[in-house]
């Protein structure tokens, strides 16, 4: 599978309607999805991601139930998009190949298969299924700060050999400092840059999402993620509207209408926000301690139940090295902290 042709210097992928699902407690309505997709599509965004925050099949007791079935939201997004592709996230072990087939039937054009940064070997069957379905593919190497650049590149190689067209350095905790991010970008581009595009997905927990996106573009990364109003897990993602403005100032062609994205952020997304992601104590602790960004709301809910501090829970999760998929362990951490008092 060859990498797709790109029309611009950078392809901005908007994940408001997927990563933003975490901040919305997975309560998106069909109307919100339709309005957001129309605005993003009109502003020139080429790829719009739509699923539960934890991907296909994520609506569950462990991760949080969706207000609206994700297949209904995918179909609605497909109906509204005139030019943009509709992408879905799939985490092996949460979503299945059958979920992927259903998503394709409801209008998904692209899948982003997400694994922990050292576990790319669980992804080949999902890339194979995506190829059989004629879908574009990308691969998320999550919690990228948890493995050295050379090892991350080896994991990207596994994905590309399995049919991934764009492996990502995914900073799930918003923990990568500037030099750490650059080293990982350079390693991935050196390993697979002649065969696949390289992507970057950043979070703002330490305020480096946009800065690292600029570094990414400078060293050859061509897929860069953002979310309107930074809507996403933790302190949110790199804001799509800020990325568009910054790259425009730098003379980097994204094909995006900056004012159109500012309209989408201010007039479409901001009115329905139930929580505006911010760099508060809890979110900063996530970046500092290297904790998966989607743990935030889970930790805050458990903290209230067990009368302990959310930031202490998150710090302990970092000490234990918990990763995505271990959200149930947050309760154990809270119980231990409560017992220590």
Report how far residue 14's alpha carbon sits from residue 199's, in angstroms, rounded to the nearest whole number. 13
Strands 110-116 and 47-50: what pairing? Answer: unpaired
Report how far residue 11's alpha carbon sits from residue 258's, in angstroms, rounded to the nearest whole number. 14
pLDDT at 324: 80
Report how far residue 156's alpha carbon sits from residue 172's, in angstroms, rounded to the nearest whole number. 16
Report how far residue 305's alpha carbon sits from residue 172's, in angstroms, rounded to the nearest whole number. 26
Which residues carry a binding-site annotation for Mn(2+)?
19, 201, 203
pLDDT at 1: 66
Report how far residue 339's alpha carbon sits from residue 325's, in angstroms, rounded to the nearest whole number. 25
**Are 296 and 234 a contacting pair, CB within 8 Å?**
yes
**Which of the residues 22, 106, 126, 311 is marked catalytic?**
22
pTM of this prediction? Answer: 0.94
Taking 50 as the pLDDT cut, the residues of the chain under it are none
Mean pLDDT score of the chain, rounded to an integer? Answer: 96
Tokens of 329: 């362990």
Which residues carry a binding-site annotation?
18-19, 172, 201, 203, 292
Q: In a 3-state reduction of DSSP, which class is residue 181? A: helix
Domains, the chain, ranges and CATH? 11-272 (3.20.20.70), 281-340 (1.10.8.60)
> Could you tell me what percent of the chain has a pLDDT over 70?
100
**Partners of 13 in the β-ladder:** 47, 225
Which residues carry a binding-site annotation for substrate?
18-19, 172, 201, 292
Active site residue 22: yes
DSSP 64: B
pLDDT at 25: 93
Which of 236, 187, 244 is closest to 45 using CA atoms? 244
Report how far residue 247's alpha carbon sits from residue 249's, in angstroms, rounded to the nearest whole number. 5
Q: What are phi and psi of 305, to 5 degrees?
A: -70, -40
Q: In a 3-state reduction of DSSP, which class is residue 273? A: coil
pLDDT at 341: 77
Report how far residue 341's alpha carbon sits from residue 337's, in angstroms, rounded to the nearest whole number. 7
């Amino acid at each position: 599978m060859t990498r797709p042709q790109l029309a611009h210097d950078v392809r901005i992928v908007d994940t408001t309607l997927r990563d933003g699902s975490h901040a919305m407690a997975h309560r998106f309505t069909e109307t919100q999805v339709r309005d957001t997709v129309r605005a993003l599509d009109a502003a020139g965004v080429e790829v719009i991601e739509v699923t539960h925050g934890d991907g296909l099949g994520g609506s569950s007791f462990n991760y949080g139930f969706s207000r609206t079935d994700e297949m209904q939201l995918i179909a609605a997004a497909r109906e509204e998009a005139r030019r943009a592709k509709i992408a879905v996230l799939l985490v092996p072990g949460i979503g299945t190949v059958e979920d992927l087939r259903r998503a394709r039937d409801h209008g998904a054009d692209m899948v982003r298969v997400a694994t922990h940064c050292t576990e790319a070997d669980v992804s080949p069957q999902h890339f194979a299924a995506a190829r059989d379905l004629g879908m574009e593919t990308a691969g998320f190497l999550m919690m990228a700060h948890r493995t050295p650049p050379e090892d991350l590149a080896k994991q990207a190689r596994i994905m590309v050999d399995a049919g991934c067209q764009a492996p990502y350095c995914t900073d799930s905790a918003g923990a990568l400092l500037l030099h750490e991010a650059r080293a990982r970008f350079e390693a991935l581009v050196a390993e697979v840059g002649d065969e696949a595009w390289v992507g970057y997905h950043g979070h703002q927990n330490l305020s480096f999402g946009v800065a690292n996106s600029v570094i990414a573009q400078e060293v050859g990364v061509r897929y860069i993620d953002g979310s309107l109003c930074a809507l996403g897990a933790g302190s949110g993602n790199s804001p799509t509207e800020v990325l568009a403005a910054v790259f425009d100032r730098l003379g980097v062609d994204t094909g995006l209408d900056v004012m159109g994205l500012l309209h989408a952020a201010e007039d479409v997304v901001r009115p329905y926000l139930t929580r505006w992601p911010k760099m508060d104590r809890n979110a900063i602790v996530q970046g500092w301690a290297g904790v998966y960004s989607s743990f935030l709301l889970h930790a805050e809910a458990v903290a209230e139940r067990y009368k302990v501090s959310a930031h202490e829970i998150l710090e302990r999760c970092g000490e234990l090295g918990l990763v995505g998929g271990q959200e149930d362990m947050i309760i154990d951490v809270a119980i231990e902290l409560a017992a220590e008092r």
